[in-house]
Chain A
Amino acid sequence: MNEMQNNAMRPPVRPSRTNAVVRQASDWVVTGLAVLSTFLVVAPLVAILTYLIYRGASSLNWAFFTQVPAPVGESGGGMANSIVGSAVILGLASSMGIPVGIAAGVYLAEYARGKVLGQAVRFTADVLNGVPSIVMGIAIYALIVMQQKHFSAFSGGVALAIMMVPTVTRTTEEMLMTVPNAVREAGYGLGVPKWRTIMSISLRTASPGIITGCMLAFARVAGETAPLMFTAFGNQFWSARLDQPMAALPLQIFVYAISPFDEWHRLAWAGALVLIVLIMVSVTLVRVAASRGIMKGNQ
């Protein structure tokens, strides 16, 4: 008690006037720097989008969506086969990657809570998430393409599917964790078996968030080029066969961007615009879905 009083009685250290000015000034300087850096970060985004719309929209026409690439030296042509090819490869990837990812997420959240194995899987998923996409390309090349002896749309789908798994797993797990335990217990209390509780109660409750995660994973792999270079390889013509090389939008953009022809540069811009519009539409849908669903309480 006595000590406390002593402390209270001690005269406060009075900061000198210049010190106060310096402190206030440095506060302003830092605030200014933070605002400046925010501008510097937003600026490239605005620049990229502006150029993309400016250069891309002026090159978009009906032929872009209906024709295959024109031979070198001829003008015109489009990327119809690449758009369809991308859709096929992404559909393939989603149909493989999303179920595995969700199942692994269910395991982490419903079966392995607090277990060492769960922690290890979680960690592996995070590590897999950071693996460079080009490495995934080489690995799938060695695993599938070398065995089949030719490039194929299927191998491209597998490469992208593997890249989707970690993202889907982690979001599924996180979303299932937000489902209150009382809801599960209600299921068990009614005598509903575990698998049924998970399918119809946990997963259903968490579904908006899980769908969000799947779409984010989709958006992430939709623009991937590197893993497709040695797997789907690209194709100048229509091809619907999964065991043959298939065109993909990012691949075609890359090929056209590094080519020496102005006409092809023009098409690359148009392709980039189409690609990014497709991705942004899905990201925006995610935002809308997330603002209505379970994510709202989480953020």
Chain B
Amino acid sequence: MTEPTNVRIPHITVSQPSVNIAAEALEVPTGPSPVRDFLNRRSSGRVVDGIFGSAMFLAAISIFAIVVLIIFTLIHGSQLSIHAFGWKFFVKEIWDPVNGDFGAWTFIYGTVVSSLLALAMAVPLAIGVAVFLTEMCPKPLRTPISFLTELLAAIPSVVYGLWALFILVPIMRDRVGPFLTKTLGWTGFFGGDNFGIGMLTASVILAIMILPIISSITRDVMLAVPQNQREGMLALGATRWEMIRTGVLRNARIGIVGAVILGLGRALGETMAVTMVIGNRPQIVKSLFAPGYTLASVVANEFTEATDDTYVSALVEIGLALFLVTIVVNAIARMLVWAVTRGTPSRAH
């Protein structure tokens, strides 16, 4: 026995004639070893490692399972309606629970119009905020303002709805509505009765709700643009706006489109606040003051009241459609955002 050196573990002494530590550390020691025996005795062997690893694997797989289960359940639940109405379900304007005849076109129309209107209002503002925060804002103001915009995301949907119902609706009815009728009434979009409850108000509250996600992701992709792009533009004598336009926005445009689409996904599925102010009437009217109905709000309003099986099934089919559409929209958006921010530290949303 040579003189014990280096490694000392209770009760065991190992001799260590080390030549090349790095090479040895890479190689997994095989065969009987007092160290391994010692560690194995302390219940830290391969079995526990295997169990732990498969538990983690199961958890990860369960995310797949959840999505598959949701899709399967929705397809199963909407069988009746799919068989009864087929593809025509999505282009029919009739929604007649009494006679059991259902079509989702008015809801699709309401969802698409309210979401696109919301995007039209939110996107310029969101990009403005992102530009301000990343390129212009004095440092001490940056954290509080981004904190405030993120607080907007923390407010529950139902609280937005409450606020919209009691504060925004009167404003839209008494101030904004008459103004729009006077200035833009000739277009036909702002005519007719204005009770404050309708498509336009729903779009405004939607815009407020999707602003934080669009602006925070736009900010992320703008931050992912390398600093030397900015410096290069400035060195060429560009003004700050020219630098932002050609150096930053141009490079980040794919990610910004992704952020906008992500916002669209949120808007399409938003339920509570929209349900509270859109008026919930299945109709297609040119005037934006008129009440409408969306896919999400018809489910929210009528699901618990639906008694007959076809009715429930039609509502589940609407849910299925909403699910598939948001999956596609989100998948596209994620890929676009990933394409830009890959390799830079991202944040959870």
Q: Which residues of A contact B (CB under 8 A)?
A: 23-24, 26-27, 30-31, 33-38, 40-42, 44-45, 47-48, 51-52, 55, 99-101, 103-104, 106-108, 110-112, 117-118, 120-121, 123-139, 141-143, 162, 165-167, 169-171, 174, 178, 189, 191-196, 198, 213, 216, 219-220, 222-226, 229-230, 233, 250, 253-254, 257-258, 265, 268-269, 272, 275-276, 279-280, 283, 287, 298-299
Does the CB pair A229–B303 fall under 8 Å? yes
Does the CB pair B208–A44 fall under 8 Å? yes
Interface bin, chain B: 35 or more
Chain A residues lying within 8 Å of B19, measured Cβ to Cβ, are: none
Chain B residues lying within 8 Å of A40, measured Cβ to Cβ, are: 125
Q: Specify which of B62, B156, B160 is in contact with A100 (CB 8 Å cutoff).
A: B62
Does the CB pair A195–B49 fall under 8 Å? yes
Known: A48-B163, A132-B322, A135-B319. 5 other contacts (CB 8 A): A48-B155, A118-B60, A129-B349, A132-B270, A136-B70
Does the CB pair A45–B148 fall under 8 Å? yes
Does the CB pair B165–A257 fall under 8 Å? yes
The complex places the Cα of A152 from the Cα of B70 at a distance, in Å, of 19
The complex places the Cα of A225 from the Cα of B270 at a distance, in Å, of 11
The complex places the Cα of A136 from the Cα of B161 at a distance, in Å, of 20
Q: Specify which of A166, A178, A192, A229 is in contact with B63 (CB 8 Å cutoff).
A: A166
Chain A residues lying within 8 Å of B46, measured Cβ to Cβ, are: 193
Chain A residues lying within 8 Å of B262, measured Cβ to Cβ, are: 130
Chain B residues lying within 8 Å of A48, measured Cβ to Cβ, are: 155, 159-160, 163
Chain A residues lying within 8 Å of B319, measured Cβ to Cβ, are: 134-135, 138-139
Chain A residues lying within 8 Å of B269, measured Cβ to Cβ, are: 130-135
Task: Answer whether residue B299 sits at the interface, using C-beta atoms and an 8 A cutoff.
Answer: yes
Chain A residue nearest in CB terms to B144: A42
Minimal beta-carbon separation of A294 from chain B (angstroms): 12
Contacts A103-B56, A191-B39, A283-B151; A298 near B345 (Cβ below 8 A): yes
Task: Answer whether residue B98 sits at the interface, using C-beta atoms and an 8 A cutoff.
Answer: no
The complex places the Cα of A133 from the Cα of B265 at a distance, in Å, of 12
Chain B residues lying within 8 Å of A178, measured Cβ to Cβ, are: 345
Chain B residues lying within 8 Å of A220, measured Cβ to Cβ, are: 154
Does the CB pair B148–A127 fall under 8 Å? no
The complex places the Cα of A226 from the Cα of B161 at a distance, in Å, of 12
State which residues 102-141 of B face A: CB under 8 Å: 124-129, 131-133, 136
Does the CB pair A257–B161 fall under 8 Å? yes
Contacts A110-B56, A134-B322, A272-B158; A139 near B276 (Cβ below 8 A): no
Contacts A131-B269, A138-B77; A35 near B323 (Cβ below 8 A): no
Does the CB pair A35–B132 fall under 8 Å? yes
Summarize B's interface: helix, strand, loop or mixed.
helix
Minimal beta-carbon separation of B98 from chain A (angstroms): 22
Task: Answer whether residue B1 sits at the interface, using C-beta atoms and an 8 A cutoff.
Answer: no
Task: Answer whether residue B69 sits at the interface, using C-beta atoms and an 8 A cutoff.
Answer: yes
Pull 17 A–B residue pairs with CB atoms less than 8 Å apart, ordered by A.
A31-B240, A34-B132, A34-B136, A37-B129, A41-B129, A45-B155, A51-B167, A130-B327, A132-B322, A138-B316, A167-B348, A193-B45, A193-B48, A195-B51, A198-B52, A230-B304, A258-B276
The complex places the Cα of A198 from the Cα of B48 at a distance, in Å, of 13
The complex places the Cα of A169 from the Cα of B161 at a distance, in Å, of 30
State which residues 53-108 of B face A: CB under 8 Å: 53, 55-64, 66-67, 69-70, 73-74, 76-77
Q: Specify which of B48, B57, B148 is in contact with A42 (CB 8 Å cutoff).
A: B148
Contact bitstring B157-184, A, C-beta under 8 A = 1, else 0: 1111111011100000000000000000
The complex places the Cα of A33 from the Cα of B215 at a distance, in Å, of 15
Task: Answer whether residue B211 sits at the interface, using C-beta atoms and an 8 A cutoff.
Answer: yes
Does the CB pair A194–B49 fall under 8 Å? yes
Chain B residues lying within 8 Å of A265, measured Cβ to Cβ, are: 166
Chain B residue nearest in CB terms to A170: B348
Does the CB pair A226–B240 fall under 8 Å? no
Minimal beta-carbon separation of B230 from chain A (angstroms): 14
Task: Answer whether residue B152 sits at the interface, using C-beta atoms and an 8 A cutoff.
Answer: yes
8 nearest A-B residue pairs (beta carbon): A223-B156, A132-B269, A37-B128, A103-B59, A195-B52, A130-B330, A107-B60, A34-B132
Does the CB pair B154–A143 fall under 8 Å? no
Q: Specify which of A27, A103, A130 is in contact with B242 (CB 8 Å cutoff).
A: A27
Does the CB pair B346–A195 fall under 8 Å? no
The complex places the Cα of A33 from the Cα of B160 at a distance, in Å, of 26
Chain B residues lying within 8 Å of A230, measured Cβ to Cβ, are: 303-304
Chain A residues lying within 8 Å of B60, measured Cβ to Cβ, are: 103-104, 107-108, 112, 117-118, 121, 169
Does the CB pair A253–B158 fall under 8 Å? yes
Task: Answer whether residue B13 sits at the interface, using C-beta atoms and an 8 A cutoff.
Answer: no
Minimal beta-carbon separation of A124 from chain B (angstroms): 5
Minimal beta-carbon separation of A90 from chain B (angstroms): 13
Contacts A189-B25, A226-B300, A265-B166; A133 near B271 (Cβ below 8 A): yes
Task: Answer whether residue B334 sits at the interface, using C-beta atoms and an 8 A cutoff.
Answer: yes
Chain A residue nearest in CB terms to B36: A191
State which residues 256-298 of B face A: CB under 8 Å: 262, 265-266, 268-272, 276, 296
Q: Specify which of A45, A139, A189, A268 is in contact with B70 (CB 8 Å cutoff).
A: A139
Chain A residue nearest in CB terms to B347: A299
The complex places the Cα of A124 from the Cα of B63 at a distance, in Å, of 7
Minimal beta-carbon separation of A270 from chain B (angstroms): 11
Chain B residues lying within 8 Å of A37, measured Cβ to Cβ, are: 124-129, 132
The complex places the Cα of A103 from the Cα of B159 at a distance, in Å, of 33
Contacts A31-B241, A127-B330, A134-B299; A47 near B161 (Cβ below 8 A): no
Q: Specify which of A118, A139, A254 is in contact with B272 (CB 8 Å cutoff).
A: A254
